[in-house]
Chain A
Amino acid sequence: MPRPDGIPGSLLLGPFPVGQYAAKFQAEMRKVARVQLFGEVWGFKAGQARVYFELRDAGGALPCSMWRNEFEALATGPLPDGAQVVVAGGPAYYPGSRTSSPHFSFDVSAVRLAGEGDLLAQLDLLRKRLDGEGLFAPQKRLALPALPRTIGVVTGLGGKARDDVLAGLRRRGWAGRVVWAFAPVQDRHAAPAITRALQDLAALGEVDVIVVARGGGSLADLFCFCDETLCRTVALLAVPVIASVGHHTDRTLLDDVAAVSCSTPTHAAETAVPRHCGEARAALARAAARLDQHGRRAVLDRARVLARLSRAPGQHVDRQRATLHQSLRELRAAGRRGLTTRAERQARFATVLARKGAATRTEAARAATLERLRLALDAHDPARTLERGYALVEGPDGGVVTSAADARAAGAVRLRFSDAAVDATISGQP
Chain B
Amino acid sequence: MTYETAIARIEEIIRRLDSGEAGLRETLELLREGRGLIEFCAAELDAVGQGLEELRLDELVARLESRNAA
Contact = CB atoms under 8 A, between A and B. Distances in A.
Interface in B30-66: 30-31, 34-35, 38, 41-42, 44-45, 47-57, 60-61, 64
A177 B64 CA distance: 14
A411 to B, nearest CB: 136
Given A181-B57, A206-B64, A147 B44 contact: yes
Interface of B: 2-4, 7, 10-11, 13-14, 17-18, 24, 27-28, 30-31, 34-35, 38, 41-42, 44-45, 47-57, 60-61, 64
A179 interface: yes
Contacts of B53: 176-178
A55 interface: no
Contacts of A13: none
Nearest to B48: A176
A343 to B, nearest CB: 63
A271 to B, nearest CB: 15
Contacts of A44: none
A380 interface: no
Contact of B4 (A145, A281, A295, A298): A145
Interface string A155-191: 0000000000010011001111111111000000000
A284 interface: yes
Contacts of B13: 291
A175 B50 contact: yes
Interface stretch (A103-111, A196-204, A307-315, A364-372): A196-204
Interface of A: 143, 145-149, 152, 166, 169-170, 173-182, 197, 200-201, 204, 206, 273, 277, 280-281, 283-284, 287-288, 290-291, 294-295, 298, 302
Nearest to A196: B57
A172 B27 CA distance: 35
Given A175-B48, A206-B64, A298-B24, A287 B31 contact: no
Contacts of A284: 7, 38, 41-42, 45
